[in-house]
C-alpha cells in the first residue's frame, strides 16, 4: 500500500490543520548534515514525512529523508519544490542565506525566522542584540569593538588598548575556532585584520575564563518556552570535545542565571524553534566576573546531543514540536551524562592512515551510546559522530568516559 494513502497516520502541522488528501504532513529542513539527520529521525518517529534541501548527494540527512532536493540553498527551483512539498520548514545550520528563509516564509511556516538567523549569522548584529536585551537578560557580552574599515581599524588600534589582549573574529562564517586570531598589541591587531582579508570583524576582549557553558531553549509559536538544564562544555582547539550534563556540573545559582538569560534572549526576538546560547564563566575576581554571553546558534547544538540518551525528550524532539505547533514537553533529565565529540582524527593513526576504532571495547562498557553520522570519509577535525555515556551516578559516568577517551585517544581526557 502506498504511504500516500489514508492508511498512513501522521501528526498535522498545527493541531487545527489537516491534509485534504489524507497524507501525513511533511517537514522540511535546509541543510543535510548531522543535525538535519537527527531532526529527520525525530520527525519520522512522529509520523511526519521529511524533505531535505542539500546539494551533496551523499549528505547524512539526505540519505535518510523521504525527499532529497539536490540543489543549492538559494536555487529557485529547489526552493519552490521544498515549499510545494512541506507545510513547515527549518534549518540545520545558521549560514543558510537569511533571505531564503524570508522568501519561504511568504508561503510556509518557517522556524526560526529569517531575522533571528540573520542575527546569528553576523557577530556584529549578534553583539548588538545581546547588548540590547541585557537589561532583560541581566547578562552582557564581553567588551568589544567593531572593525569594518581601515579607518575604524586605526581608531581601535590607537584608542582601545582596554580591549587588548583580545580576539579578532570575522563577523561572518566563523565557527569551531575558524575565522579568529588572538592579538596582544595594536601592531598584531593590524596584521591580523589583514590576514583575515580585511573583512568586517569584531575585536573582543579576552577575559579570564574559568568555564564555558550553554543552554538549550525551545520556544513555540504561542510563546510557550521550555529549557534544558545548562551544561558545562570543554573545547579543544576551538572545537567542542566534552559536555558535562549532570547535577553539580555548574553551581546552581550560575546555572539558573544562564537558563533565565537564555530564555530572555529567545523571547526578546520572539524566537520560534530550538536555540542554543553559549556563555563564558569569568573569574569572580575580574572586572567582568560572573556570566558573559558569547554567542547563539539558531538550531540544535553539539552540546545538546546528550539529550538523545539522558532525557525524556531530545533537543531534536523539541525542534519538531516547536515548528509543527505541538505542545512542548518540559525536558526532564533522567540520567547524568557526558558527551564525547568524535572527530575524524579517531579514525586516523599517527601517519594519517585510516584505522577502525576499537568499537567492541567501547561498546562493552556500561552506559555507552554511539551515534555515527553516516559520513564516508574521515578527516581530521571533521565531526563524524558522538558518544553519550549515561549511568546511575556521576562517578560511574566519569569512570566510563575516561576509559572511552583513553581507548579512542580523545582530547580533553584531563577535563573529565
Q: Say if residue 144 carries a ligand binding annotation.
A: no
d(CA 30, CA 94): 10
DSSP 152-199: HHHHHHHH-GGG-SEEEEESSS--TTTTEEEE-SHHHHHHHHHHTTS-
Query: In which region does residue 200 sit, left (phi positive, over 0), alpha (psi from -120 to 50) or beta (all else)?
Result: beta
* Main-chain dihedrals φ then ψ at residue 307, nearest 5 degrees: -65, -20
Q: Say if residue 391 carries a ligand binding annotation.
A: no
Q: Say if residue 409 carries a ligand binding annotation.
A: no
Strands (E), 36-108: 49-53, 67-69, 88-91
Q: Say if residue 348 carries a ligand binding annotation.
A: no
Q: Say if residue 121 carries a ligand binding annotation.
A: no
Q: Say if residue 176 carries a ligand binding annotation.
A: yes
Strand 273-282 with 290-297, pairing: antiparallel
**Residue 127: strand, helix, or coil:** helix
Q: Is there a contact between 351 and 320 (Cβ–Cβ < 8 Å)?
A: no
Q: Say if residue 174 carries a ligand binding annotation.
A: yes
Q: Say if residue 294 carries a ligand binding annotation.
A: yes
The b/e string for 347-377 (b: 16+ C-beta within 10 A; e otherwise) is bbeeeeeeeebeeeebeebebbbebebebee
Q: Say if residue 54 carries a ligand binding annotation.
A: no
Q: Say if residue 398 carries a ligand binding annotation.
A: no
Q: Say if residue 179 carries a ligand binding annotation.
A: yes
d(CA 267, CA 262): 9
Q: Say if residue 268 carries a ligand binding annotation.
A: no
Angle (CA) 131 279 163, round 5°: 60
Q: Say if residue 159 carries a ligand binding annotation.
A: no
Q: Say if residue 305 carries a ligand binding annotation.
A: no
Q: Say if residue 127 carries a ligand binding annotation.
A: no
Q: Say if residue 177 carries a ligand binding annotation.
A: yes
d(CA 247, CA 290): 19
Using only C-alpha atoms, the chain has a radius of gyration, in whole angstroms, of 22
| Residue closest to 86 by CA, chosen among 32, 23, 31, 36 | 23
Q: Say if residue 92 carries a ligand binding annotation.
A: no
Please state the residue numbers annotated as binding site: 123, 169, 174-180, 204-207, 212, 235, 294-295
Please state the residue numbers annotated as binding site for ATP: 123, 169, 174-180, 204-207, 212, 235, 294-295
Amino acid at each position: 500500500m502506498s504511504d500516500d494513502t489514508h492508511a498512513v497516520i501522521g501528526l498535522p502541522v498545527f493541531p487545527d490543520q489537516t491534509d485534504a488528501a489524507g497524507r501525513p504532513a511533511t517537514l522540511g529542513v535546509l541543510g543535510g548534515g548531522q543535525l538535519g539527520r537527527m531532526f529527520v529521525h525525530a520527525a519520522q518517529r512522529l509520523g511526519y514525512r521529511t524533505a531535505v534541501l542539500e546539494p551533496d548527494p551523499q549528505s547524512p540527512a539526505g540519505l535518510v529523508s523521504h525527499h532529497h532536493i539536490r540543489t543549492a540553498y538559494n536555487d529557485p527551483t529547489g526552493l519552490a519544490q521544498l515549499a510545494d512539498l512541506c507545510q513547515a520548514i527549518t534549518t540545520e545550520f545558521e549560514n543558510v542565506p537569511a533571505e531564503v528563509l524570508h522568501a519561504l516564509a511568504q508561503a510556509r511556516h518557517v522556524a526560526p525566522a529569517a531575522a533571528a538567523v540573520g542575527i546569528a549569522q553576523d557577530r556584529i548584529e549578534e553583539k548588538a542584540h545581546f547588548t540590547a536585551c541585557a537589561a532583560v537578560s541581566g547578562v552582557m557580552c564581553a567588551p568589544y569593538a567593531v572593525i569594518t574599515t581601515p579607518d575604524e581599524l586605526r581608531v581601535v588600534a590607537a584608542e582601545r588598548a582596554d580591549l587588548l589582549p583580545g580576539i579578532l573574529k570575522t563577523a561572518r562564517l566563523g565557527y569551531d575556532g575558524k575565522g579568529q586570531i588572538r592579538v596582544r598589541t595594536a601592531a598584531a591587531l593590524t596584521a591580523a585584520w589583514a590576514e583575515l582579508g580585511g573583512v568586517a570583524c569584531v575585536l573582543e576582549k579576552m577575559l579570564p575564563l574559568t568555564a564555558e557553558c550553554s543552554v538549550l531553549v525551545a520556544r513555540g509559536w504561542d510563546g510557550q518556552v521550555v529549557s534544558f538544564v545548562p551544561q558545562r562544555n570543554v573545547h579543544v582547539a576551538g572545537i567542542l570535545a566534552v559536555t558535562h550534563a549532570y547535577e553539580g556540573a555548574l553551581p546552581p545559582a550560575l546555572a539558573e542565571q544562564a537558563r533565565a538569560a537564555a530564555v530572555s534572549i529567545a523571547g526578546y526576538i520572539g524566537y520560534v524553534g530550538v536555540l542554543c546560547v553559549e556563555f563564558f564563566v569569568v573569574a569572580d575576581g575580574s572586572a567582568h566576573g560572573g556570566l558573559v554571553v558569547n554567542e547563539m546558534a539558531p538550531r540544535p547544538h553539539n552540546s545538546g546531543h546528550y539529550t538523545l540518551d539522558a532525557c525524556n525528550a531530545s533537543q531534536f524532539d523539541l525542534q519538531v514540536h516547536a515548528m509543527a505547533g505541538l505542545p512542548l514537553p518540559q525536558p526532564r533529565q533522567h540520567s547524568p551524562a557526558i558527551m564525547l565529540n568524535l572527530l575524524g582524527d579517531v579514525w586516523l593513526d599517527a601517519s594519517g592512515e585510516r584505522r577502525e576504532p576499537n568499537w567492541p571495547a567501547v561498546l562493552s562498557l556500561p552506559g555507552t551510546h554511539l551515534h555515527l553520522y553516516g559520513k564516508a570519509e574521515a578527516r581530521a577535525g571533521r565531526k563524524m559522530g558522538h558518544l553519550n555515556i549515561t549511568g546511575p551516578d556521576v562517578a560511574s559516568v566519569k569512570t566510563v568516559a575516561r576509559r572511552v577517551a583513553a581507548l579512542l585517544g580523545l582530547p580533553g581526557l584531563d577535563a573529565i
